[in-house]
Every structure is written in C-alpha cells, then in structure tokens.
Amino acid sequence: MANDNDCVTIKDKLDENATEAKKGEFRKKAQAKLEELAKTVGSEEEAYRKALPGLLETWGKQDEAIRELEKQIKTCYPDWCHLIKDPICEEVIEPLDAKRKQIADVVGEREKDLDSANEIYHEASAQLDAWQTISKWIKAQLDANQKLIDEVCRLDALKERNERLCLIYIFFFELLPAHRRLRDSPDKVDDVFLDPEGELCADCNYHSSKPHIKLVGFPWVIDPLKYECKLTEVWEKWKEAGEYQVVKQCEFDQIAAWRAELASAEDPMQKRQDACAALRDFTGEHPQDCDKYSSDD
C-alpha cells in the first residue's frame, strides 16, 4: 500500500540510524586523531618556533628573487596578459573545465555530492597532516618554490622565445601563488593567489566551484603562540568534512538499495501481486456495480 509522501517509514528511520552509526564510527576516529595531536602539539610548536627565523629568512630571499623575476618578465613580455588569456586560458584551462562539465552533466546529483565530499575530505586530511608537522611542511614548500624559481631562471636564459614562454605559466600559475600563500592567511591573500585559474581566466568560460565546507587552508607562517589554536581549528574542519563525507556516502549507497527494490518491483509476478493488492484496496473503498456471486442469483 502506498505511503503518504510526508510519512516517515521504518525504512527511513533504519537508513537514518545507519548513517548515524557510521558517523559515530568516524567520530571515534576523530577522537583518536585529536588524542594523537595532543601528544605531539607541544614538541611541534617548539620545533616550529626554532625553525621560524630560518623559514622567514628563506621566504624573504625568495621574495626578493620573485619580485625581480616579475619585473623582468613584465618588461620582456609586455603582452603577458594576452599570453595567459589566449594560449593558456583558452587552450588549456577552458577545455579542462569543459570536460569537467561534460562529466557533471551525465552523473546524478548524489554522485556529484559524493565526489565533492570525497574531494573536500581528501583536501582536509592533507591540510591536517601539513599543519601537524608545520615546520617540515613549510620547509618542503620553500624548497619546492626554489626549484620553481630556478626553473623560471633556466627558461629565461634560453635563446628561443617559444621555449622561454613556458615560464609565463610556471611563474603566474605555480610559483607566485605558492609563494604568496606561505606568508599570510587565506583571508589576507588576494583571490588571484588562491585561485589563479579562476581569476586569471575570469574572462573565459572557466568557473571555479566553491566547496560546501570552507577549509582553513595549508600552513602559512604564523605566530607560534597561535599554532595550537590553528591546529585545533584545522582538526575541527577535518572532522566536519569527514562527517559530511559519511552522510553523502550513505545517501549514495541508498541508490543501490533503491535499484534493488525497483528490480524486485519490476518482476512480472511482483507487479501482478502489487496490482491485485492495489485493486483490492480500491474496491474495498468503493461500492461494486455488480457482484457475480450475489445471493440473489
């Protein structure tokens, strides 16, 4: 017998309880992670405090080199804006975005939600790992930035202009954003450094999507006294992302159950039984216009 659309069924409550149970399992994982952070936060804060002067010195030297490179690039390539818009945005970024949209058009809403939740949780996990070892992570990022600086300088020294042009992409899309994000919190960093593709290719058809949960971001140089509070905030966002991922996974898994129910309902004998049951309910509520087996015959 069909249920009222507003009726909460036992099956609905079972699904809800199953989701809550899985969220409970994740909360145990989150609690264990929090206890792990509690054991290491003191030593990591002290390590970061000792490493900070060297990290700032390295960032400062790289900043000087990057400013000189930017000045030189914009002087040597006065059409650098067009070099970004035409060959990079229109030939690289825009086609990639079109592929993303093409995929999005053929998947259902729940699959999109699950993909987004998985992506957010993956990003949140990476950020938590980075903040847990902040001094090592920033040092590794500075080393990676130095390699980008060296690569831009190497390309700039080449004779062939077509070979040199690759430095435009490396500098504006890779080096400059990574360098700038290390120095300040995301709230103080220009959007062009947070989302270079979305900002530099704003005139194209590219549209960057905003995540359901706003994460803290990867580490930047902060006051050591604020480290523990920031690490706790990152953990809270990771926990939120994990619970969100659990909910979206459960919602997606319901589709398989619904498909199984549909397959059962579409079985010929099942359809006959359902139809007969519906007819019995219907005729039971309405007067019959004839009765073959009435007592008058």
The predicted model scores a pTM of: 0.80
Residues of 187-202 as b/e, b for ≥16 C-beta within 10 angstroms?
eebeebbbebbbebbe
What is the residue extent of each domain of the chain?
18-257
- In the prediction, which pLDDT does 288 show? 53
Nearest CA among 224, 211, 209, 220 for reference residue 186: 220
Give the rounded distance of the alpha carbon of 133 from its chain centre.
22
Number of neighbouring beta carbons within 10 Å of residue 210:
9
Predicted local distance difference test score (pLDDT) of residue 293: 47
d(CA 182, CA 61): 13
Rounded distance between C-alpha atoms, residue 23 and residue 240, angstroms: 10
Closest to 63 measured CA to CA, from 147, 171, 179, 167: 179
Per-residue model confidence as pLDDT tens for the chain (297 residues): 344 556 777 878 888 888 999 999 999 999 999 999 999 999 999 999 999 999 999 999 999 999 999 999 999 989 888 888 888 888 888 887 887 777 777 778 888 889 899 999 999 999 999 999 999 999 999 999 999 999 999 999 988 877 888 999 999 999 999 999 999 888 888 887 888 888 888 776 555 566 688 999 999 999 999 999 999 999 999 999 999 999 999 988 887 777 776 677 667 777 677 777 776 676 555 555 555 445 554
Asked if residue 224 lies in contact with residue 48, where contact means CB atoms within 8 angstroms, the answer is yes
d(CA 129, CA 175): 22
Is-contact 110 252, C-beta < 8 A?
Answer: yes
- For residues 111 and 113, what is the distance between their CA atoms, to the nearest angstrom? 5
89: exposed, middle or buried (Cβ count in 10 Å: 0-12, 13-18, 19+): buried
